[in-house]
Structure 1
């Protein structure tokens, strides 16, 4: 005898109807200038800072392994450490997207482990968001082709439309970048791409970061992302004469409650982290990418001590020395 037909459960019949009626998940809201952008962190036991990447994700991975921030499978292994990447992820190399994707993933993995990843804005992030593509390599540009269904014009570089979409406020990388600061303070140290000049507006880091970010949101007056003396471009502490640069740095550090400033942007051609201005300026762009010689280095701040991390080992760096106050003129 034929087996009886199985009747479907009413609940099973109802499930497809419920799924069809369920609203589609909402896309994340686009970033706004008024969004809160965290910029101050205290009580952090270990901080690792890495300079300019310039489209070389392989070099970035290698230095993060060197610092114990990722494991052999490129997963977060830094525990509660904070990783600071001081900007200039894109341009000059072909692996920009892979570097972005790595840091975006590590942000989430670090948070889950009690740590943090701070990918700061550099001048090259700003240039890409604002349409200045002078330093985008052909391979880098072509890697963005899948970000737009619109074909590129016959006389345009391959990937141009996808690049524009990806860096827009609705694209894959534009919203992520627009939610990031230019300057953070972790414990007693400021981290920034170029440098915080004395003339930056504001008395708080949130005001400085808003000034920089306002260039990425239409309808605002010119801000600090384009300003040659803004935090993404300033080189005064890297290249200025000590007698002028140190008093300026002292004033900025006092304003924002810090002992030192860590900067990328200005490449140290000897491939080593440089210490300037009595230990208060640390320059960590050592030419990490292959195009600059692949000089791997990271800065470590831990337990009140500062070290440079290289392939050959750990090197202690000088601590900040307070500038003596100028003598007061004697009474007549």
Structure 2
């Protein structure tokens, strides 16, 4: 086969499989701050970042070399998704200049927006994207429908940005992910996990991990099931990925506090940050093996329990797997 023809056949596959330049693993980070689901509430996001000492009064990065991890679900339910995107996009640049990093991970709601499943998008949120398309909305369609689609497309301002993001990162000895990494996945490395998720939002690729029932954006086994069911599997996953613990959002704690399970090897940080979930401001700080919950009333050390921690209490969960698109009137959790 001629080289030119071989390139035409293989180049699209190779490009789709090429990992991003940004690494998925970081070592020697002195301070990490992690925050959970934002759901369109940029005010709550700003407040929790200021509480953690990462923003000043002008919303500029003052976190120095700190790594901020936002564990996904920036969009949906609130009307300030676009403002939250813009804030994190700017902070990515400012943090890097200061020697730190911002890791805005993909959650199931980012992917739903990228593939056009708008069941959780509020009218005001949708309308905020109206200027992103030069074509007016079709008669009888909601304001901003075409702008939202354009903005989240592969060449759109936010679609292009989100498609560069990871679903899973490891910082020092901690894994950060939206839903959780199940032990029975068909991929076993950070690079494979992230490529598998991005298949679902990459044109021309087969179905991947973003819509898989036990994929890293949807899995709730560590949050909802008996610990004995997943104890061995969790040990396997942490060993494969070279980590001591896993930090995740996705499953909202009912009391607005950060929760631990599996002897402190799993932490849940979706405390209901957005106003729609009670505006429970909370962040997790990691300094080596010292873990601290940050709340408006102060810092609370998280001691690793000797016995198994009780199951995390949750609000009504979303479906265990990515649902099929429904009409805008449908509002399943």
Normalised TM-score (structure 1):
0.86
**Aligned equivalent of 1:46:** 31
Distance 2:130 2:241 in 1: 42
How many pairs align?
Answer: 293
Which is higher, the Rg of structure 1 or of structure 2? 1
Distance 2:168 2:146 in 1: 30
Distance 2:305 2:62 in 1: 30
Q: Does 1:83 align with 2:68?
A: yes
Post-superposition offset of 1:221? 1.4
Q: Does 1:208 align with 2:189?
A: no
Post-superposition offset of 1:260? 0.3
Q: Deviations over 1:199-256 (max 9, x none)?
A: 2222310011000001111221110011121000000111110111222211100110
Contact 1:52–1:89 (8 Å) recurs in 2: yes
SS in 1 for 2:292: strand
Q: Does 1:168 align with 2:153?
A: yes
**Aligned equivalent of 1:34:** 18
Distance 2:115 2:121 in 1: 13
Contact 1:121–1:180 (8 Å) recurs in 2: yes
Post-superposition offset of 1:301? 0.2
2:94 pairs with one of 109, 131, 143: 109
Distance 1:66 1:50 in 2: 11
Distance 1:322 1:234 in 2: 24
Contact 1:197–1:231 (8 Å) recurs in 2: yes
Q: Does 1:100 align with 2:85?
A: yes
1:133 pairs with one of 109, 115, 118: 118
- Higher mean displacement: 289-298 or 146-155: 146-155
Q: Does 1:199 align with 2:155?
A: no
**Displacement over 4 Å in runs of 4+:** 320-323
Contact 2:61–2:94 (8 Å) recurs in 1: yes
**Aligned equivalent of 1:118:** 103
Contact 1:35–1:179 (8 Å) recurs in 2: no
Contact 2:80–2:125 (8 Å) recurs in 1: yes
**Aligned equivalent of 2:235:** 250
Gaps of 5+ in 2: 1-14, 309-333
Q: Does 1:74 align with 2:59?
A: yes
Cα distance change of structure 1 residues 257 and 303 upon mapping to structure 2, 3 Å threshold: closer
Distance 2:248 2:38 in 1: 13
Distance 2:164 2:304 in 1: 32
Q: Deviations over 1:24-46 (max 9, x none)?
A: xxxxxxx9552424210000000
Post-superposition offset of 1:320? 7.7
Computed over aligned residues only, the root mean square deviation of the Cα atoms, in angstroms, reads 1.4
